[in-house]
């Protein structure tokens, strides 16, 4: 039931992204993009009449990781492309208290909407509630605030879905028999736990006990840690058929460990996220067999959602006049067969 409810908004978002991706390829087309944006505005029926410039505030943690870097970059690019949005962005902090301070500063500037990817959902819920109470609609990206009232709309990737799709992929590839290694992200955060649980659930549902997870260790989403952890696991496990990693960047290190040990023909590996480097490796074929999208382009969608919410508009494709309150972006399985279709989304 919940899936059904999500399909429509999903299609809408993907459609919108598709249009944006096709239309926004060349950088020199600034004026074209602007007219397009205005055109869209009038087509959707502008609630504010004139449709003046909107001030949208954006806050995300510091870009200490390729994925996070892409989040901020995509938000900025989207704001530029829309033309009628002024983005006031703050980033660069890596702890929740500092981000809360940043958001307070943003609220004081009275933006029309606030887009937040919180460092930790729970810790930043109070400040999001504060913004909501001040009449600023909050678009929550990726990590969910703990009180639903804290945000107007949530857009998130599907971590459980990544695990679930990966589990099904392994079941198919291994025909339900074999030894699997799992290289996790940071232990104890919901991203890691969900990606792990989805994977285990799918494998159990499909294969009962046919696939054994012989080792499961965290490498904190870091390539050098992934390298060392995998080197040790290769020492302990003499027969590995597949490696499920929680992140494409980290997987680079895992790949190095396997190739250095000259065991790349023994097993295959999958990533998660959808980095350019991973997609290139998948295209080449060999060890790196698949990745599962958790695409940072969702921050661009968040800016679009913020714009619609601030203007009081909805999706044309939906019967409802307003933007939905929750949107989950699907965890598409990317293999050699479809990598060409999604390569533009790589980060």
Q: How far apart are CA 215 and CA 219, in angstroms?
A: 12
Interface pick for other proteins out of 110, 236, 325, 338 (rule CB under 8 A): 236
| DSSP-derived 3-state class of residue 152 | coil
Interface pick for other proteins out of 218, 271, 273, 324 (rule CB under 8 A): 218
Of the candidates 166, 153, 152, the residue with the CA atom closest to the CA atom of residue 199: 166
Q: Minimum CB separation from other proteins for residue 231, in Å?
A: 6
Interface pick for other proteins out of 35, 232, 239, 338 (rule CB under 8 A): 232
β-sheet with 211-218: strand ranges across? 211-218, 178-184, 242-245, 268-270, 288-292, 333-334
Stretch that binds other proteins, among 49-57, 102-110, 134-142, 210-218 (CB under 8 A): 210-218
Q: How far apart are CA 247 and CA 182, in angstroms?
A: 11
Interface pick for other proteins out of 217, 318, 322, 343 (rule CB under 8 A): 217
318: contact with other proteins by CB under 8 A: no
As a three-state string, the secondary structure of 291-319 is: EEECCCCHHHHHHHHHHHHHHCCCCCCCC
How many residues interact with other proteins (rule CB under 8 A)? 35
Q: Which residues, 48 to 107, sit near other proteins by CB under 8 A?
A: 63-66, 69-70
Interface pick for other proteins out of 56, 128, 249, 282 (rule CB under 8 A): 249
| 8 Å CB contact between 180 and 243 | yes
243: contact with other proteins by CB under 8 A: no
200: contact with other proteins by CB under 8 A: no
Residue number with CB closer to other proteins (254 or 327): 254
**What x/- string results for residues 155 through 194 when contact with other proteins is judged by CB under 8 A?**
--------------------------------xx------
| DSSP-derived 3-state class of residue 118 | coil
Question: 324, exposed or middle or buried, with CB in 10 Å at 0-12, 13-18, 19+?
Answer: buried
Q: How far apart are CA 157 and CA 272, in angstroms?
A: 11
Residues at the contact surface with other proteins, assessed by CB under 8 A: 63-66, 69-70, 187-188, 214-218, 220, 222-225, 227-229, 231-233, 235-236, 249, 252-253, 256, 259-260, 275-277
């Amino acid at each position: 039931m919940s899936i059904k409810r999500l399909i429509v908004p999903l299609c809408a978002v993907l459609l919108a992204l598709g249009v944006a991706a096709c239309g926004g390829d060349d950088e020199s087309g600034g004026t074209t993009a602007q007219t397009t944006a205005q055109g869209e505005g009038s087509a959707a029926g502008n609630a504010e009449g004139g449709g003046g410039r909107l001030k949208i505030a954006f806050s995300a943690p510091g870009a200490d990781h390729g994925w996070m870097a892409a989040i901020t970059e995509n938000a900025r690019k989207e704001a530029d492309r829309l033309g009628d949005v002024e983005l006031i962005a703050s980033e660069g902090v890596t702890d929740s208290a500092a981000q809360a301070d940043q958001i307070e500063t943003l609220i004081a500037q009275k933006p029309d909407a606030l887009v937040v990817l919180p460092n930790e959902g729970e810790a930043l819920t109070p400040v999001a509630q504060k913004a909501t109470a001040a009449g600023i609609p909050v678009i929550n990206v990726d990590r969910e605030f703990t009180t639903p009232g804290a945000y107007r709309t949530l857009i998130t990737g599907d971590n459980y879905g990544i695990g679930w799709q990966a589990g099904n992929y392994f079941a198919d590839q291994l025909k339900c028999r074999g030894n699997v290694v799992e290289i996790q992200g940071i232990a104890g955060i919901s991203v890691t736990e969900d990606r792990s649980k989805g994977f285990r659930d799918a494998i159990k549902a499909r294969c009962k006990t046919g696939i054994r997870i012989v080792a499961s260790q965290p490498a904190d989403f870091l390539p050098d840690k992934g390298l060392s952890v995998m080197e040790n696991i290769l020492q302990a496990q003499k027969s590995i058929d597949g490696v499920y990693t929680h992140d494409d960047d980290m997987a680079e290190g895992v790949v190095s460990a396997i190739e250095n040990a000259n065991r790349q023909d023994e097993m295959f590996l999958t990533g998660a996220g959808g980095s350019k480097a991973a997609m290139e490796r998948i295209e080449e074929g060999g060890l790196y067999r698949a990745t599962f999208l958790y695409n940072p382009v969702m921050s661009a969608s968040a800016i679009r959602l913020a714009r619609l919410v601030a203007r009081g508009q909805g999706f044309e494709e939906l019967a409802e006049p307003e933007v939905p309150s929750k949107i989950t972006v699907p965890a598409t399985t990317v293999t050699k067969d479809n990598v060409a279709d999604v390569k533009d989304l790589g980060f």
